[in-house]
Each structure stands twice: as structure tokens, then as C-alpha cells.
Amino acid sequence: MNFLITGGAGFVGVNLIEHLNNAGENRITVLDNETLGKREHLEGLSASFVHGDIRDRDLLDKVLPGHDAIIHLAADTRVMDSIVDPSFNFDVNVNGTFQLMEAARQAGIERFVAASTGGAIIGEAEPPVHEDMVPRPLSPYGASKLTMEGYLSAFAGAYGMKSVALRFSNIYGPRSFHKGSVVAAFMRRALKNKPLIVYGDGTQTRDYLYVGDLVKGIVQAVDAGVSGVYQLGSGQGTNLNDLIRRIEAVMNLTLGELPVQYEDFREGEILHTWCMVDKARDAFGFNPGTSLDEGLARTWAWFQEQK
């Protein structure tokens, strides 16, 4: 199959490309503006690289023809940044996605899988969250992803495009070069002997999904040709203080040995969220099999190699 992966030089993208390379004969084109991901991250992987932006319609019309499926990972993903600059977040996540979808429609590409989010769309709700909950975004980032999901639904209904929104939980794992998410941030600070920064009291809960399980789920969704919204997570909630204890364990440290600096809670962040994955399991066989402890051990080993 011929894939075009937007944002493919980032954390999820490079893991996805490695998975596709190992799976067999797939032709992969990466479109990335290198704001965060860099083309050198693709070293050793089989993929062609195009430097460009998803908002550049002329470029999209040149690059997209001939592909069978689009996996759309490019986005402005920082919740706090979206609060500071909602216009930029809207332009990238809503306008950029619309331009990409319209170019895909014109090119006759029928399969379109986009990275969405769970907690930021649902807002504060009693977990576990699921796809039938009423969305109540608390940040412009969450609102932008909800708007994207609306267009995916519209293109499926109006044009027959097999368009899928996959709501990622908190993804962690190897190759998280620049990730600002908590596991990568904690491990980078630990390597530099700096205190871990926790916003709040550490009791807030998240759903941590190993990137290897995520990329399998993405490919399963493409192969199944489904449409709609599906959550991809571990199905379990872990609070930050417990996560820190687990990281200490994989680092062979004693309990409380990692210094932690607690700061005030930040506006716009969800306190407690984890998700159900029954819908994705039933629709395309999604079944995350990597335990949190196993995934953290693999991630820590990778970070140690990089230093």
C-alpha cells in the first residue's frame, strides 16, 4: 500500500514507519515542515521525504496523487500553547486538516486516518471516557480536534471517504526526541539530574499507551477501512505520583529518590481521564499488550542509549 504520512518525522511517525517497514512492501511518503520532527529522524528507515506544510494546497495537489491512504499526524498539539495562541492552533489543526482532506478527495484517496485526542475533547467527565460522551472541550486544542472530527464525519457521509479519527491517549515510548509529554519530559530531566516538574499534587490520572501498541492500532484501522471515531489507549488510569514510582523502579532507584518539584495546577488541563477501548477492539481488533512497566523499561533503555 502507498501511504502518505503527515508529520511523519515526529515521534509517532517514525515509530509508525518502522512498523510499516517491518510489515512488508509499503511505499511511504513523509510530509513534514520540520517544526518539531526532523528528516534526520528517518535515518535507517525506508521512506521518501517532502518538506512542506499541510496548509500549502498547491504542494498537496502535487504530492498526494498515487497514494492509497493518508495517515494525518501533523498538528499543533500543545494544550497550553493553544490557550496562548488559539488562532495559530485553529489554522494548523482545522484549516490545515481541511486543506488536506479536500486535496485527498480531489486526488481520489479513499482512506484517511487522523490523530485526534480523548480528554481534551471530552473535557472533565467521570472516567473511563468513551466515544458516545458529549464533547465539552476545555481548550482551543480540544475544540480544534473536535472540529476536525466533524469534517471527517462529513467527508465520510458526503463523499464516501473512509475517514477515521483515532483519539490517542498519552503516548510514550522510544524515539520521543522532542516530546513534551510527561514520560519523555521526566526521563530527560532524570538524565540531566534535574527535578521532575509536576503541575498539581500528582494525583491527576492519565491513560498511558505504549507507542508500539498505538502504531499497530493505526495500521489495523487503515486495513479495516472503517470510518468514525475510535479511542486508542491502555484502558487504565495511572496517577502521576504512581508513574514516578514506576519510573524509579525501571531506573533501579529507591522509592522517593527522584527529586520532584510540585507547581500549581494549570488552567485548561484535565484532572482525571482514561478511556475505554471496546469500540476499537470490536471494529478492528485493537488490543494493547504492553504493560506500563514493560513500556517504561523499553523507553528508559532508549533514552539511556541516546545520552
Within a 13 Å sphere around the CA of 160, how many CA atoms are in the beta-carbon half? 4
What does the buried/exposed string (b/e) look like for 240-258 if buried means 16 or more CB atoms within 10 Å of the residue's CB? beebbebbbebbeeeeeeb
The whole-angstrom separation of Cα 84 and Cα 87 is 9
Quick one: residue 72, left, alpha or beta (phi over 0 = left, psi -120 to 50 = alpha)? beta
Q: Which residues belong to the active site?
A: 141
Which 3 state secondary structure label does DSSP give 201?
coil
Measured in Å, how far apart are the chain's first and last C-alpha atoms? 36
The neighbouring-strand residues paired with 261 are 197
Query: In this structure, what C-alpha cell is assigned to residue 191?
Result: 538524565
The whole-angstrom separation of Cα 78 and Cα 71 is 20
Which element (helix H / strand E) includes 152? helix 140-159
Instruction: Report DSSP state, residue 246.
Output: H
DSSP 276-299: --HHHHHHH-------HHHHHHHH
Burial of 87 (0-12, 13-18, 19+ CB in 10 A): exposed
